[in-house]
Amino acid sequence: MQYTLGQTQLDTIEEILQSDVMDLGVTCVVLIDMSGNIIAHLDTGEIHHDIYSLAALAAGNFGAVSAMAKIIGEEEFSLLFHKGTKENIHFSKVMDDFLLVTIFGKAVSLGFLRMKVAEAIGKIQNILQD
């Protein structure tokens, strides 16, 4: 897979992630590709997670989960979510080659987050397809 994103596209992606996802009150949102590269990253500025390692692991994890789905005869799992005591993490596929990873605390409801993430993904797809 080869792709190039210009500054305008990256700016627009960040704007979408800010208004649709960050403004919900999430801690951090990262758009990565399936190779584990970071395309866009936004956070509240209060956390210092190692997002490069997170991206590598998220891409690997997503690949592993997709392979598990195929073994049991599913095309893919629609909800990928890990719940912690303080922070939770949600993964959502963007087309075939990208993944949106959102980290959020107790203040954000999963249902609402999923809805807003789906909206954001719809907009991001339009940019990535261009």
- The CB-of-61 to another protein minimum distance in angstroms stands at 9
CB 104 within 8 A of CB 87: yes
Indicate whether 76 belongs to the interface with another protein (CB under 8 A): no
Q: Choose which of 18, 38, 77, 127 interacts with another protein (CB under 8 A).
A: 38
Interaction between residue 50 and another protein (CB under 8 A): yes
Using CB under 8 A, which of 19, 42, 52, 119 touches another protein? 52
Pairwise CA distance, residues 59 & 116, whole Å: 22
Tokens of 129: 């397809």
What tokens were used for 59?
Answer: 């891409």
Q: Which of 71, 80, 113, 85 is nearest to 99 (CA)?
A: 80
**Contact footprint for another protein (CB under 8 A):** 1-2, 4-7, 10-11, 33-39, 50, 52-53, 56-57, 59-60, 63-64, 67
